Amino acid sequence: MPRPKKFRQFRELQEELGRSGAAILEDKAGGEDLIVDSPYSIRYIHSYAEDSPFFLGLAEGKLLGSRCTRRGCGFVFATPRGHCMVCGSPTEWTELPRSGRVHSWTTCHFGSEAFLRETPYNLALVEFDGAGSLLLARLKDCTEADVYVGMPVEARFASPPKYLITDVWFVPAR
Ligand SMILES: [Zn+2]
């Protein structure tokens, strides 16, 4: 039996894992790490409870944030919250603009199983006019070198929806 093929970059061994189920990753110190492919699956039944309108909104191409109901506060959260983090009052749903700007970003060269095949991919914190907090989402259709702070971006929505946070992502604004 031949030894598994050896690679220096994790992203280069992923295809080999799919093909043979095993590969060796040479680490920076010259050590050899045996990597094996061990698929598993679980069925996870989960209630979004009070977050449900957010996910139902994504399915309709709407980005919902939350607005503090206290007069004189009115803080808008781009990542929805049941209660205001500034004053503690309850919030109500409010529709966010579908376009915003890159506040900050990172390029991921590794990720959890769901994102592994997309590496490298960009994650951005997006800021919106009228909102005081940010939304974390993937930034597609551009490479690391294209992205800059303040870059105008617009939302895209999965159709059909999967009712996951990955139903929304951003692309450079046209
Ligand atoms: Zn408030």
Q: Model confidence over 21-67: pLDDT tens digits? A: 999 999 889 899 999 999 888 999 999 999 999 999 999 999 999 99
What's the whole-model pTM score?
A: 0.79
How large is the average pLDDT for residues 84-111? 96
Q: How far is the CA of 80 from the centre of ligand 1 (A)?
A: 13
Nearest to residue 163, comparing CAs of 35, 79, 69, 55? 55
Q: How far is the CA of 87 from the centre of ligand 1 (A)?
A: 4
Q: How far is the CA of 113 from the centre of ligand 1 (A)?
A: 38
Q: How far is the CA of 45 from the centre of ligand 1 (A)?
A: 33
